[in-house]
Structure 1
Amino acid sequence: MKQRLVSLDVLRGLTIILMTIVNNPGDWGNVYAPLLHAEWHGCTPTDLVFPTFLFIVGVSIVLATPQKTLNVSVLQRIVTRTLRIFCLGLFSGFFIRIQMFGLEGLPLLVVRLIITAIIVVALFADYDKNWQFLIAFFIFLVIMILAFGGFEPFDTVRIPGVLQRIAVVYLIASLLYLRTGWVTQAIIGVVILLIYWAVMTLIPVPGAGGANLEKGTNLAAWLDNLLLPGHLWATSKTWDPEGILSTLPAIGTGIAGLLTGTLLRTNFDKNQKVTYLLIGGIAAIVVGWGWSFVFPLNKALWTSSFVLYAAGWALVCLAILYFIIDIKGYSGWTTFFVIFGVNPMVVFFFSGMIFRVLNAVKVNNPADPAAGQMDLVPYLYKYQLAPHFENPMNASLTYALCYLVLWFVILWLLYRNRLVFKV
């Protein structure tokens, strides 16, 4: 493996670990409050997971780009990577909608897995960069045709998503870094946050009256439903937490990462870097918190105050890890976190598919044999794990930790064999 900034890998690993835990409880009705998103306004530790990852994307762009050169070859590489990430996110939604010749159950799952393998190999096989771009673009085009061409059951598949937002932020942040200096980037970031604040709080929402920040009736929700009707988050159906307008301030999160990466690449003494990281982090937290009194912290809307607040905590965490690992040299404990940190896209893409594969196995329902069979995953939780706990919240958390262990084994095998999958 190439030499990496271990503190950044550890922070990325911590982010992926927390993401895995909060996304996979045994019972959504029994989850400890810090492991849940804020119901609407507000911020919990769980709300900081995604912005921290986007922040790291920005930092990584700088650290992985030794020379700020933008030519046709570099642009092609950036666009290809963007399409790859975007396609992975889109295909995650398409996976469960694939039908073939009326197949059901395990045979259908096998077909879906074969198609998944073809897509993954096509996107990431090692061939000429021109072909990489063309194939990624072709897969993107086919998915878009299926989604918007009236083809059932893809006509209601979700288009926005976590990987899709990562792709867009990566694209714009990469181009900003290669074409502008850090001062211009900072100015653009501030302008984005101010414009988003004005747009969300001053522009009346068609059909809903004045500007507002309420769930489902704000301007971002209106725009999502106008441009992507039927292709939004299944829970809401009329708006999306990774929607179109709220992706604008998410670019600000990526820019915060660019500025941090630029600081880390300067010739400043390492102790100075830690000081600047801490000062910047604390300042961002304070300003974001203060701004929240007029523009509330809200992850679903990705409000400007939330951008600063979340970036501030990411800076503070990175400063602490950088001091412990890169200055003091206390790195013996980091391997567990690095294992998660070097292959994050593997977890992002395959996490949901593992459940679908396991649930293809059916078992008899112990509570009601006459009701037929049930999926393996809920059976394991409800009848094999939960009965051993008096507190259902502890049972639910233990289930998530067991899933984390499963992912550790997978990622450890990749790490041991020096397999790092870069999108």
Structure 2
Amino acid sequence: MDQALLTFQNQLEEEVQVSYRSDFCHKCVFQHLVSVKPDNSNSSATISTRFSLTLKVDMKNRNETLCRWNQTYEEGGHYSVWIQLPAVFTQPVCSFSVDKSPNNAYLPLLVVALLLAVTALLFVVVPYVHRRCCTKCSKTICCQDSQYTVDNDDGETADNPSKTKQSRLLSLDTFRGFALTVMVFVNYGGGGYWFLQHAPWNGLTVADLVMPWFVFIMGTSVVLAFSSMQRRGVGRLQLLRKSAWRTAVLLLLGFCFLNYSPRDGPLSWSWLRIPGVLQRLGFTYFVLSLLQTFWGWTEIPEREHHWWKLAQDVVLHWPQWLIIVLLETLWLCITFLMPVPDCPTGYLGAGGIGDDGLYPNCTGGAAGFIDRWMFGDNMYRYPTCKELYQTVQPFDPEGVLGTINSVVMGFLGMQAGNIMIFYKRRNNHILGRYLVWAVVLGTSAAVLCECTRDGGFIPVNKNLWSLSYVMCMGCFSFLLLGGMFFIIDIKGWWSGQPFINPGMNSILVYVGHSLLGFYFPFSWEIRFQESHWELLLQNLWGTALWVLIAYLLYRKKFFLRI
């Protein structure tokens, strides 16, 4: 899978050596691939087909490059490179041939995409047609369009599940469930496709989208839930107890249930990963809940006569904005001003063989240095940059410094919730504000990264949770939530199935797939590893089972609350 065979035929009288470099690896040093002896000798090597490669052929005993080319090879193909001297007194040339046609690596994905598109269409069209028919035939309660209210609980279930349609913002649960479903799929492997897994360092893939969406939804839910409880007379002390309890549970789940050691058994300190997804979610939730508890508005005053009326939903929360600006300033100062031993100040690269191999032990710059100083080896040992950049330092994408920008991402979600409350029942204003936020954040991200993957002032980087990454994800989040709000809660064209049920039981699904996801019936031993067919089927099957489990638990009115 994702490999091709490359054979080099050397017809020269001198030995040559072949080196390669992945074009996705930023300024990486060429790596030795194979040496080919002279006089019609040949050597073969297996190469990766995930990214385009730059290859070059050098004379082994002389510092001379004979030929150099860039090509994207395809899965399962057999290719030959002939290194020859066409005539006397001419330069050697490299000619290419295809010995075996490659596979169509994207055919499985295309077939599955078409099937999912048909299924999604049925989920939308069939209930819509049913509601239309019911409306025409009779005015029964089951056929009436549901009305939304902005009081979603930030946990995993409604206060009264039997009245879900009347008491919850369905688009928010659907968005949460959609993000969770994609997260489960990419955690299982995403069918082995590189763009369904995390980017090696800079850039974006599908897998890089889901956790920021989840954090954004958390921020929106905090505002809606806490505002609702405060309107019901719940005091600050009770809200603080609720926040502290949920934070503690998330931290314990991350520490105890999602840490394991294949060598020493579970709960082994030698294998413990201190940072983690649930740990970051727990800390982010706690900070957001404090912001809402102490500086959130429960009743919006009528001040439309002021000059800042177009930004009232922002200005009225100025204490929260002040804290967020201070936090982001702290992130910028530490990232770009803190000296890191043997590394350039403000370094944002992956280290290893990147950046011409000058900074092999500087993975993550200040962020990586802080985590290694605080946690030692008790952090993620297999970062996404390890294979491509050949790094040797541990690096955790859920580290301390990135958690600051996780709070910022959640705060953007809080703004979405504030807009919901401020412009309640004024749907056009809500959608307009969401669009404005999306444009502002998207433009800011484009300026920071200069619309490039590895260039710009601050590249888009999920491993570092860079500022441009947060702004880019904020743009997508506002667009997605606004779109779902329009389709589900305003127009009623879609009920949110099948994503709404995982969205109401998100902690159970996430913890369950992390603990049981690699056991039968969720997965099995792959036998056909030459293509993506079986792995893609397995990953989709495991994901679909968790969606089905969430649906069955919803029917039984069982929701895991924390």
TM-score (norm 1): 0.76
Query: CA offset at residue 357 of structure 1?
Result: 4.5
Offset at residue 184 of structure 1 (A): 2.3
Is the strand fraction higher in 1 or 2?
2
Per the alignment, residue 272 of structure 1 pairs with 429
Q: Is the 8 A contact 2:517 2:542 kept in 1?
A: no
Equivalent of residue 244 in structure 1, options 392, 400, 404: 400
What is the number of equivalent residue pairs in this alignment?
346
Residues 368-403 of structure 1: per-residue CA shift (max 9 Å, x gap): xxxxxxxx9452x32xxx48xxx7234322221111
TM-superposed CA distance for 1:176, in Å, is: 0.6
Deviation at 1:298, TM superposition (A): 0.5
Q: 1:260 aligns with which of 402, 410, 416?
A: 416
Partner of residue 180, structure 2: 16
Relative contact order higher in (CA < 8 Å, ≥ 6 apart):
1
Report the counterpart of residue 75 of structure 1 in structure 2.
240
Aligned-partner residue type, residue 4 of structure 1:
R
1:392 aligns to what SS in structure 2? coil
Q: Distance in 1 between matches of 2:190 and 2:443?
A: 36
Describe how 1:289-304 pairs up with structure 2 within 5 A: 289-292=446-449, 293-304=456-467
Q: Is the 8 A contact 1:173 1:251 kept in 2?
A: yes
Alpha carbons of structure 1 residues 317 and 5: separation in structure 2 relative to 1, 3 Å: same
Name the larger-Rg structure.
Answer: 2
Determine the C-alpha separation between the residues in 2 that align with 1:255 and 1:273: 17
Q: Which runs of 5+ in 2 are unaligned?
A: 1-160, 297-316, 351-362, 384-392, 450-455
2:481 aligns with 318
Q: Residues 398 and 97 of structure 1: is their aligned pair in 2 closer, same or farther, counting only changes over 3 Å? A: closer
Matched, 1:4 2:168: yes
Which residue number corresponds to residue 154 of structure 1?
269
- What does 1:2-401 correspond to in 2, within 5 Å? 2=164, 3-25=167-189, 30-31=192-193, 33-65=194-226, 66-68=228-230, 71-96=236-261, 153-181=268-296, 182-215=317-350, 216-236=363-383, 238-268=394-424, 269-292=426-449, 293-332=456-495, 334-355=496-517, 357-358=519-520, 377-379=523-525, 381-382=526-527, 386=528, 392-401=531-540
For 1:346 and 1:67, the matched residues in 2 are separated by: 24
Alpha-carbon distance in 2 for matches of 1:191, 1:284: 18
Comparing 283-292 with 177-186, greater Cα deviation is found at 177-186
| 1:350-380 CA-partner distances (Å, limit 9, x unpaired) | 1122145439xxxxxxxxxxxxxxxx9452x
SS in 2 for 1:297: coil
The aligned amino acid for 2:341 is P
- Secondary structure of 1:302 counterpart: coil
C-alpha offsets along residues 279-298 of structure 1, whole Å, 9 cap, x if unaligned?
Answer: 11121111122112201111
For residue 294 of structure 1, give the secondary structure of its aligned residue in structure 2: coil
CA contact (8 A) 2:188 2:517 kept: no
Identity across the alignment (%) = 28
Q: Distance in 1 between matches of 2:423 and 2:212?
A: 27
Give, in whole Å, the separation in 2 of the partners of 1:168 and 1:400. Answer: 30
Stretch deviating more after TM superposition (191-200 or 91-100)? 91-100
Q: CA deviation at 1:194?
A: 3.5
Structure 1: gaps (5+ residues): 101-111, 113-145, 147-152, 360-375
Question: Would you say the 8 A contact 2:523–2:542 is kept in 1?
Answer: no
How big is the shift at 1:193?
2.6
Please name the residue that 1:120 is paired with.
none
Flag the structure with higher helix content: 1
Amino acid corresponding to residue 429 of structure 2 in structure 1: Q
Give the direction of change, closer, same or farther, for the CA distance of 1:418–1:190 in structure 2 (3 Å limit): same
1:211 Cα deviation after fit: 2.6
- Distance in 1, Cα, partners of 2:186 & 2:401: 25
Look up the equivalent residue of 1:271 and give its one-letter code.
N
Determine if contact 2:218/2:410 at 8 Å carries over to the other structure: yes
Shift of 1:99: 6.9
Helix, strand or coil for the counterpart of 1:170? helix
The offset of 1:325, in angstroms, is 1.2
| TM-score (structure 2 length as normaliser) | 0.58
CA distance in 2, matches of 1:99, 1:235: 18
CA drift of 1:196 comes to 1.4
Q: For 2:538, give the aligned amino acid.
A: Y
The Cα shift of 1:330 comes to 1.3
User: C-alpha separation between the residues in 2 aligned to 1:56 and 1:217?
Assistant: 27
Name the amino acid aligned to 1:35. Answer: L
Secondary structure of the 2:405 match is helix
Instruction: Determine the C-alpha separation between the residues in 1 that align with 2:423 and 2:480.
Output: 21
